[in-house]
Each structure stands twice: as C-alpha cells, then as structure tokens.
C-alpha cells in the first residue's frame, strides 16, 4: 500500500510523539508499505518554522531520508485537482494532500476532522 503522511503525522512519527496511534504506527512501519512525504509538508513546516510557530531542528529532507520515506513532488495535476475539489475546506495544504492522495491512489494518514469528512478518499486516522 502507498501511504501519504500529512504534516502532523510526519512530525509525530519523526519525534516519536505518542499522539500517533498504534494503527498508524503499524502501517508506517510495515515494510510492505511505501511511505511518501509531500513537498507540501516540507513547505508547510518551513513556513511555520520561519514564523516561529514550530520548532523543528535540522534538515527536513534529511529527516525524510533518515526515516526511509519517499519524497512526493507537487505537480500541476495535483495543484489543479486541489483547486477543483468539491470541498469547502480552505487550508491549501490539506487540499493539496487530499488531491495528491486521490491522484496517486494513496492512503492519506492524518488526524484532521476536516479531512476525515472528505468522502471517496482512502484514509487512516492517526490519533
């Protein structure tokens, strides 16, 4: 199975945060699954870090590699799909992650109630 982690899930996994539930931990650690991190996650963390809203030390790219995750680039298809989603959620990063998961046939692992309400998306609750 191909998994896409949202920003909080990546941060929880990387820091060993107990907020990440056992089902999500199991799916992420299962060697049969491929785990992807969107370039949007790196972008969102970089923005929050620059604004002083998030402390993350070191290189995000290095952390992705150290966790043996695979980077997922943002394509024009992803961004067009994100803009065309029939969904009122306004967070552009959440819209991007949903569009990427749909476009790439991935299961999105997240802990966001707004995303959970989106139907037609393969998803795994992380909290």
Tens of pLDDT, residues 7-41 = 999 999 999 999 999 999 999 999 999 999 999 99
Spatial CA neighbour of 48 closest among 88, 8, 99? 8
Q: What is the mean pLDDT of the chain?
A: 96
Q: How many residues does the chain have?
A: 127
Q: For the chain, list the domains and their CATH numbers.
A: 2-125 (3.40.50.1010)
pLDDT of residue 88: 85
Beta bridge partners of 107: 3
pLDDT of residue 63: 97
pTM above 0.75, yes or no: yes
Across residues 93-101, what is the average pLDDT?
A: 97
């Amino acid at each position: 199975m191909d998994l896409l982690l949202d920003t909080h899930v990546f941060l929880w996994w990387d820091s060993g945060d107990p907020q990440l539930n056992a089902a999500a931990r199991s799916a992420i650690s299962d060697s049969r699954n491929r785990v992807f991190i969107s370039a949007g996650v790196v972008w969102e963390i970089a923005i929050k870090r620059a604004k002083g809203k998030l402390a993350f030390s070191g290189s995000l790219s290095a952390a992705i590699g150290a966790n043996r995750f695979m980077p997922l680039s943002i394509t024009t298809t992803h961004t067009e799909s994100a803009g065309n989603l029939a969904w009122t959620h306004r967070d552009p990063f959440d819209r991007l992650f949903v569009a990427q998961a749909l476009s790439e046939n991935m299961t999105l692992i997240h802990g966001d109630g707004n995303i959970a309400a989106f139907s037609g998306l393969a998803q795994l609750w992380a909290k």
